[in-house]
Amino acid sequence: MQVALVGVNGYSGMTLYRLLKQHPAVDQIKLYGHTDSKPTTLAALVPVFQKETVRVRSFDAATVMAENDVVFFATSAGVTKTLALPLIAANFPVIDLSGDFRLRQPDVYETWYHQTAAPVAALAKASYGLAEFNHHLTPYVANPGCYATATLLGLAPVVQQHLIEPTSIVVDAKSGLSGAGKKLSTTSQFTMVNDNLQLYKLNQHQHIPEIMQQLQQWWPKVPALEFTTTLIPVTCGIMSTIYAKAAQPTTTAELVAAYQQVYQDQPFVQVLPADDLPTLKQVVGSNDCAIGVNYNPITNTILIVSVIDNLMKGAAGQAVQNFNQLFQYPATAGLPDLPVFP
């Protein structure tokens, strides 16, 4: 299969290129920049890939469709809502790692992303690719955000089965620095990140509306959630710590059983035994999501801890998982099943 990748120079794009290189169904990867980018080489854009001689060409929709079977966009928000329109019109297979087509309502996108949304007709052709739950993908797959992936996988069983009070969801999510991308800022400097914790985008993170969109699809009675994001001094990894009041008194064992039932056939979700909570080291470098749950009968509170690698399950890994599903390859094809340790 001939695969196009637009945006290889970001962290997600680099990770995606590495995964596609080892995918058994991928024969060749062609790289493209934006329409106004000058041709260059991968080694020039990404010095750690010095051994790679492949060239990066300017994007042209007709050329991309003529030369490839599918295109991945690992671009920032605001790019695909313009570049991808000819591909959408042609029903050409696209897997988009940006946020441009995750939200169904243009006004919601404009509120949270602070820019004009894609046309309504184009948005209607996109499917939200939360891989464990969307088994009816359209040719245009909107890959979920990293925080959204960890949080939704953590909440899915208790929301779908109405095991919690729908108004009580509180999420304390923490991410490594690679989630902020390569763009430099004061908060991403070593002196600010090292030995420090920083809350950011309080009540403003752009993954909040896609989380709510999916939660309300599962259970319309969920009106909102409290969601905070914290930058932690690690390179990769997200820990989404979730609290919610139980709808009825329960036990940790009953909750674990509910999670095991939902995820029993999902190779990339690990439900840990009762009272065993996951760490980042269990997933970093893999496409896994590890989930632990606990019930406190004194406060009637359910605790859920969901961890992923933000560049793998939260971006490139899930994109390959959606690629496998879209083209009916084995779910695990091209994806590492063990974390990097130590």
Cβ distance 154 to 133 under 8 Å? no
288: exposed, middle or buried (Cβ count in 10 Å: 0-12, 13-18, 19+) = buried
How high is the pLDDT of residue 190? Answer: 87
Confidence of residue 155 (pLDDT cuts 50, 70, 90): very high
Torsion of CA 209, 210, 212, 213, to 10 degrees: 110
Task: Quote the tokens at residue 78.
Answer: 């605001």
Q: Which helix (H) or strand (E) holds 252?
A: helix 252-263
Evaluate if residue 38 carries a pLDDT over 80: no
Compute the distance between CA of residue 162 and CA of residue 158 in angstroms, rounded to an integer: 6
pLDDT (average), residues 75-94 = 97
Q: C-alpha distances in angstroms, 185 versus 177, 193, 199, 218?
A: 11, 11, 15, 37
Every domain of the chain and the residues it spans: 2-124, 147-310
Please write the tens of the pLDDT for every residue from 21-37. 999 999 999 999 976 77
Q: What residue spans of 124-218 are helical by DSSP H? A: 146-160, 190-193, 208-218
Q: How far is CA 8 from CA 72, 73, 278, in A?
A: 10, 9, 31
At residue 63, does pLDDT exceed 70?
yes
> Which pLDDT score, from 0 to 100, does residue 342 have?
82
The string of pLDDT tens digits covering residues 245-271 is 999 999 999 999 999 999 999 999 999
Class in CATH terms, 147-310? alpha beta
pLDDT confidence band for 187 (50 / 70 / 90): confident
Q: Please tell me the distance from the alpha carbon of residue 64 to that of residue 283, in angstroms, as a whole number.
A: 34
The Cα-based distances of 110 to 33, 88, 103, 180 in angstroms read 25, 20, 10, 21
Enzyme catalytic residues: 146
pLDDT of residue 106: 97
| Least reliable range by pLDDT among 192-196, 204-208, 264-268, 310-314 | 192-196
Rounded to whole angstroms, how far apart are CA atoms 134 and 152?
12
- How much is the pTM? 0.96
| Highest-confidence segment of 131-135, 193-197, 279-283 | 279-283
Q: Which CATH number fits domain 2-124: 3.40.50.720, 3.40.30.10, 3.20.20.150, 1.10.10.10?
A: 3.40.50.720
Nearest in space to 237 (alpha carbons), one of 309, 132, 322, 185: 309
